[in-house]
Amino acid sequence: MTLKKDTILVIGACGQLGSELTMELRAMYGAANVVAADIQFPKQAELRESGPFEVIDVLAPQHLADLAKKYQFTQIYHLAAILSATGEKNPKFAWHLNMDGLFNVLDFALEQKVQKVYWPSSIAVFGPNTPRLHTPQHTIMDPNTVYGISKLAGEGWCNYYFEKYGLDVRSLRYPGLIGYKALPGGGTTDYAVDIYHQALAKGTYKCFLTADTRLPMMYMPDALKATLDLMHAPAEQVKIRSSYNLAAMSFTPQEITASIQRHFPTFTITYEPDGRQQIADSWPQTIDDQVARQDWGWNPSYTLDSMTDDMLLNLKRTHN
Ligand code: NAD
């Protein structure tokens, strides 16, 4: 397979997305060709043991330059970021990491003649004046979290590096990501992972959002598929160089509870909204991802119930 000619760097490889994406890329490109990098050493044995790992701080350009002495990268996936809820606790540091980290990667990619860069954006780029239903690709974008502001600025810079310097940067606006392999890293949609763990551990869950807070979400296998489909699409099909809207499902805490109760009829939920409610209330409820479907054939596989079935099946093994 020609795929093995690539050498790939994943920055932020120990995170919720990175730990799964790295393993997927290693299966596809050969483990030795996918270098996992993070500021922390991986806790997950499979990540540590399956291929090369480098401790780097993406805020230190010298760390990237040192990597270039060992490897000649053809692709970079830059995932390191501070997420929405954590970002509000230290806004200036979130801006610093999310923006300067991105600049370091974009400049490194240009210097090293890296062929393709992937950088994820988020539904957090939308804000209180954005239409909340079927939010279109092009619309009002007035984010009011530092995370959303940094992602919107990052989208602009990705587009700029593509237009001005010809760098092949690709991006998706992920909804809340849900997976069983790693815990989430401080976002507003984290409840939708935690609820499954608590359903198994305690049979009850205290939710930090109200019962009817509807948010766009996606199961991790769909997020991995979307990411790799976009990265493998011919360049001319990737017409949006800021970031693509991406959707799979939207649900409320009440609806995910009902989905879990199909397996555990006695499972209960209580609601105690905190500061994350305000963030959730400024985000879309449903996303229109027609452009991604048209340009490179995006099509999700999982619904709320099929995700619940798979999450519980897999988590039961770990909880046992
Ligand atoms: P995460 O917080 O789980 O992981 C981020 C990783 O980056 C961590 O392993 C962390 O150690 C690493 N990191 C932090 N600072 C670093 C630094 N200075 N140098 C190197 N590594 C550093 O985040 P995630 O959920 O995996 O998200 C990955 C990307 O996807 C982010 O850009 C995020 O904004 C985006 N995204 C995620 C979601 C979601 O629901 N998880 C939704 C939308 C967008």
For residue range 9-47, what is the model confidence (pLDDT) as tens digits? 999 999 999 999 999 999 999 999 999 999 999 999 999
Residue 318: pLDDT band by 50, 70, 90 thresholds?
confident
Catalytic-residue membership of 147: yes
Mutate to test the pocket of ligand 1, among 83, 125, 279 (most ligand atoms within 8 A of CB): 83
Among the listed residues 95, 97, 189, the one whose alpha carbon sits nearest the alpha carbon of residue 148: 95
Please give the tally of structural domains in the chain: 2
**Last residue of some domain: 174, 205, 230?**
174
Give, using CA atoms, the residue closest to atom 12 of ligand 1.
12
The stretch 159-180 carries a mean pLDDT of 98
Domain extent, residue 20, equals 8-174
CA dist 112 and 107 (Å) reads 9
- Please say if the pLDDT value at position 3 is more than 90: no
pLDDT tens, position by position, 210-241: 999 999 999 999 999 999 999 999 999 999 99
Q: Measured from the CB, is residue 189 less than 6 Å from ligand 1?
A: yes
One-letter identity of residue 147: Y
The stretch 268-289 carries a mean pLDDT of 97
- Please say if the pLDDT value at position 319 is more than 90: no
11 CA to centre of ligand 1 in angstroms = 9
Q: Confirm if 53 and 39 have CB atoms less than 8 A apart.
A: no
CATH of the domain at 264: 3.90.25.10
Residue 271: pLDDT band by 50, 70, 90 thresholds?
very high
- Please say if the pLDDT value at position 2 is more than 60: no
The stretch 95-103 carries a mean pLDDT of 98
79 Cβ contact list (under 8 Å, min separation 6): 10, 11, 12, 13, 15, 17, 18, 21, 120
* Burial call 168-182: b when 16+ CB within 10 Å, e when fewer: bbbbbbbbbbbbbeb
Q: Is residue 238 in some structural domain? A: no
Mean residue pLDDT of the chain comes to 97
Q: Residue holding tokens 């860069």?
A: 117
Q: Are residues 57 and 184 in the same domain?
A: no
Instruction: Tell me which of 147, 174, 191, 302 is the catalytic residue.
Output: 147
In residues, how long is the chain?
320
Note the pLDDT of residue 11: 98
129 CA to centre of ligand 1 in angstroms = 27
- Please say if the pLDDT value at position 1 is more than 50: no
Q: Measured from the CB, is residue 218 less than 6 Å from ligand 1?
A: no
Q: Are residues 188 and 148 in the same domain?
A: no
**Last residue of some domain: 118, 144, 174?**
174
Q: Are residues 33 and 166 in the same domain?
A: yes
**Last residue of some domain: 174, 208, 239?**
174
Q: Are residues 74 and 193 in the same domain?
A: no
Which ligand 1 atom sits closest to the C-alpha of 17?
Answer: 26
Give, using CA atoms, the residue closest to atom 39 of ligand 1.
177
